[in-house]
Amino acid sequence: MTIFPTEKYIDLENNPYLLGRITVNQVKDDFHAEVDIIHRESHKIFKHVDIIYGQPSFEEALIVAIQKLRTFLEDLEKSSVPSSKDGKDIKSNYH
C-alpha cells in the first residue's frame, strides 16, 4: 500500500544543483501530480512546472507528470539555442 502524498525525484543530467520532483496525491478515486524543479540540497522549489489532475491511477499520474517535466526541459533547451543568420541552429553552451 502506498502512502500519499508520494514524492519521486528525477536527476537532471546537465545540472548538479537541481532535481525534478513529482508529488503524487490521491483524492477519492483520482490521482493528482505536482511537477516541480527543486534545489538539490534545500529541496526548495526553483520552478513550478505544472499540476496534473484527475488521473485514473498512481502509475498514470506519474507517467503524465514525467512527460510534462521532459517537455518543459526540452522547450527550455530549445529556447536557449540561438539561431544563426542563415537559419541553421548553433549549439548552445547551456547543455
**Mean pLDDT of all residues belonging to the chain:** 88
Q: Tell whether 95 is covered by a domain.
A: no
Overall domain count for the chain: 1
Q: Tell whether 75 is covered by a domain.
A: yes
Burial class of residue 78 in the structure, from the number of CB atoms within 10 Å of its CB (0-12 exposed, 13-18 middle, 19+ buried): exposed
Nearest to 65 by CA among 43, 77, 57: 57
Q: Tell whether 1 is covered by a domain.
A: no
Q: Tell whether 85 is covered by a domain.
A: no
The rounded distance, in Å, linking the Cα atoms of 8 and 35 is 10
Q: Tell whether 11 is covered by a domain.
A: yes
Q: Tell whether 87 is covered by a domain.
A: no
> What integer pLDDT is reported at residue 93 of this predicted model?
45
Identity of residue 9:
Y
Q: Note the pLDDT tens digit of each residue in 28-68.
A: 999 999 999 999 999 999 999 999 999 999 999 999 999 99
Q: Are 3 and 28 in contact (CB under 8 A)?
A: no
Q: Tell whether 27 is covered by a domain.
A: yes
Domain that holds residue 60: 6-79
The rounded distance, in Å, linking the Cα atoms of 18 and 69 is 13
